[in-house]
Amino acid sequence: MAKILVTGGCGYIGSHTLVDLIDNGFDVISADNNINSDPSVLKGIAAITGKTVKNYAVDLADLAATKEIFSANPDIGGIIHFAARKSVAESVNEPLAYFRNNVNSLLNLLECMKEFKVNNFIFSSSCTVYGNPDAIPVTEETPFKPAESPYGRTKQMGEHILEDFSKTHQHINSISLRYFNPAGAHESALIGESSFNKGWFLVPAITETAIGKREQLTVNGTDYDTKDGSCIRDYIHVMDLANAHTKALQYLIEQTQTKNYDVFNLGIGQGVSVLEAIHAFEKVTKVSLNYKLGERRSGDVIAIYANSEKAERLLGWKPSRQIEEIMATAWAWENRPKAVG
């Protein structure tokens, strides 16, 4: 099989996707400068798969350094691009850092695809491209609304760049995967969400509060126009999400697509509120969570969840895990032996 470059391969979704790619017979390499990831995750990947993954500690916003990866690996047949800064809250405070990193890394990879004749590209997009949609669930035809954060805007920009690029490079096939809220961990508890991300996202914030790393969890906003006043999201297990990237890549390699650029939603199609997620954790783990109700947080979308019928129809992908399994695997990862990572 073709060699696949996974950018951000030491990150949360990237590391789980490396496992799924290896399980499906792909040869893989990673590019990750580890500014918000932990290179020790490669040990977990090796323990799960029996394969050692080479990582290039390269800043993809540096074009010359990025080209060196392709020069050293002339057999790269596809790219899955995860490498990006991804905190909504941080992006509000550091917008230039997000534009500089997220946009430039994409442009450099596309330049390398042209020069080194790599024809398959999967872009890690996000449901944030929809902003606060007028109706839910959202489909791939749902129009973009103004992004609620600079992070979301970089994903909108990335999709527009790919759409324009595809019009003049018909031989290059690319897909944007708009996914919702990844959570959980590999069933082995050998890899999961890195400590670099703790506190940025709800599920790790729940588990670190439950285990005592945080004194208390704050529910940001309880007066939204939702079923219980808290924000609603579509939580998808990270291994289901990882498998969608493999299936999207296979879809391109097999050349079964009808156009050279397409987009897919990835979610379970159910909205879960912040309070419902907390209660699901308490039910599965039998642990009472210390949380309080707080003010709204800047940049948060009120409610969003997916219609993923297109991915099921064309990619043959369908998630198999629900919120309970997300919480169970996240808790197992939080309770892993200290020597694991």
Q: Which residues are catalytic?
A: 151
Residue 194, Ramachandran bin (φ over 0: left; ψ between -120 and 50: alpha; else beta): beta
Q: Tell me the three state secondary structure of residue 215.
A: coil
CA 15 to chain centre: 10
Closest CA to 180 of 153, 216, 152, 219: 152
Q: How far apart (Å, rounded) are the C-alpha atoms in residues 178 and 155?
A: 9
Both structure tokens of 203 = 């599920």
Q: What is the DSSP secondary structure assignment for residue 306, as one 8-state letter?
A: B
Both structure tokens of 335 = 């309770």
Cβ-Cβ contacts under 8 Å for 191 (sequence gap 6 or more): 15, 16, 19, 41, 44, 45, 48, 185, 333, 341
Judge if the upstream peptide bond of residue 74 is cis by omega within 30 degrees of 0: no
Reported residue count of the chain is 341
Closest CA to 234 of 91, 123, 139, 137: 137
Q: Give, for 79, the enclosing helix (H) or strand (E).
A: strand 76-81
Which residue in the block uniquely carries the two structure tokens 């007028």?
A: 134
End-to-end CA distance of the chain: 31
Closest CA to 121 of 267, 292, 10, 6: 6
Q: b/e per residue, 126-136, with b = 16+ CB within 10 A? A: bbbbbbebeeb
Find the angle CA(11)-CA(16)-CA(17) to the nearest 5 degrees: 100
119 and 113 Cβ atoms separated by less than 8 Å = yes
